[in-house]
Structure 1
Amino acid sequence: MVDNQLKATITEAMKVAMKAKDKERLSAIRLILADFKRIEVDERIEVDDARGLAVLDKMCKQRRDSIKQYTDAGRQELADKEQAEIDVIQSFLPQPLTDTELDTLIDQAVAESGADSIKGMGQVMAILKPQIQGRADVGQVSQRVKARLQ
């Protein structure tokens, strides 16, 4: 049985937003559910919680990139809209990891993989990725692992 708690939570939040007539939140939630549906149709799978977290993480990253581009172009109203969507998306993500928790996970992954140089970075990241999904930016974690292995 596929674990769909995340999707159920998002669907319930959509109903609440509809009843509250919160158009901005409802719009962002519909974007999330549309992305889930696209994956389910394209890949003929049911989106489980792990995949859902990956999708939400990717959506946040895309919006951060858009905010940077809009800000550089002087389109603050569009950047604000993207930030509002990020806030809604992040409300469904688990609590972010602290720096201390992240350092502990990196240390454990390095010890588990036995990596002693930058060549072992792929093994370390393979161990870390499922643990940090939706709780930390993979790019920043990658930089920290790289610094740790050098």
Structure 2
Amino acid sequence: MTLTERLNQDMKTAMKEKDKLTLSVLRMVRSALKNKEIELKRPLDEEEALGVVSKELKQRKDSLHEFEQAGREDLAQKTRDEIAVLKQYLPEQLTEEELRQIVRETVAETGASSKADMGKVMKAIMPKVKGRADGKRVNRMVQEELQ
């Protein structure tokens, strides 16, 4: 079952169960997917759809940080709930060890030796971990590896 089919199925279930939170999050994701399709003027493949869901998740995480700093616990809790719904549609996240191994392999493949090669390593590694690791985590590990 593709991601889009799964979203449609879960949206129907949320409607039947009157789960307003899940329904609103799924509608938002479907809208973002549709906008991306319109932008590209073609249907999305599975990887592109995952990228859209990842982007939505990142936006929620950024908002959560802002809400917590502003002391808006009501909005922070709603955002945490939205994050939990979105995480169901992403692949299993890489563990620290798995990610570190991929970083080491990519650094070796690219022949990077200093922080000046950071862009080259990031460009090579991001497609490998798309949807399975946060860019900030990857960036931090690459910096540690290139010291």
**Bin for the TM-score computed over the shorter chain:** over 0.9
Match of 2:135 in 1: 138
Give a deviation string over 1:86-112, Cα, whole Å, max 9, x none. Answer: 111110001110011001101111111
Cα distance between partner residues in 2 of 1:17 and 1:55? 21
Q: Does 1:149 pair with 2:146?
A: yes
Match of 1:17 in 2: 14
Match of 1:97 in 2: 94
Q: How many Å apart are 1:45 and its aligned residue?
A: 2.3
Q: How many Å apart are 1:38 and its aligned residue?
A: 0.9
TM-score (norm 1): 0.91
Q: Give the residue type in structure 2 aligned to 1:72.
A: Q
Q: How many Å apart are 1:116 and its aligned residue?
A: 1.4
Structure 1, unmatched stretches of 5+, are none
Judge which range, 41-50 or 77-86, deviates more: 41-50
Among 25, 31, 54, the alignment partner of 1:57 is 54
Cα distance between partner residues in 2 of 1:70 and 1:120? 35
Structure 2, unmatched stretches of 5+, are none
Identity %: 39
Q: Give the residue type in structure 2 aligned to 1:65.
A: D
Judge which range, 103-112 or 4-13, deviates more: 4-13
Runs of 4+ more than 2 Å apart: none
Among 70, 74, 79, the alignment partner of 2:76 is 79
TM-score (norm 2): 0.93
Q: How many Å apart are 1:5 and its aligned residue?
A: 1.4
Among 98, 104, 117, the alignment partner of 2:114 is 117
Aligned residues: 147
Q: Give the residue type in structure 2 aligned to 1:131.
A: K
Q: How many Å apart are 1:39 and its aligned residue?
A: 1.1
Match of 1:70 in 2: 67
Q: How many Å apart are 1:48 and its aligned residue?
A: 1.6
Among 121, 125, 135, the alignment partner of 1:128 is 125
Cα distance between partner residues in 2 of 1:85 and 1:45? 28
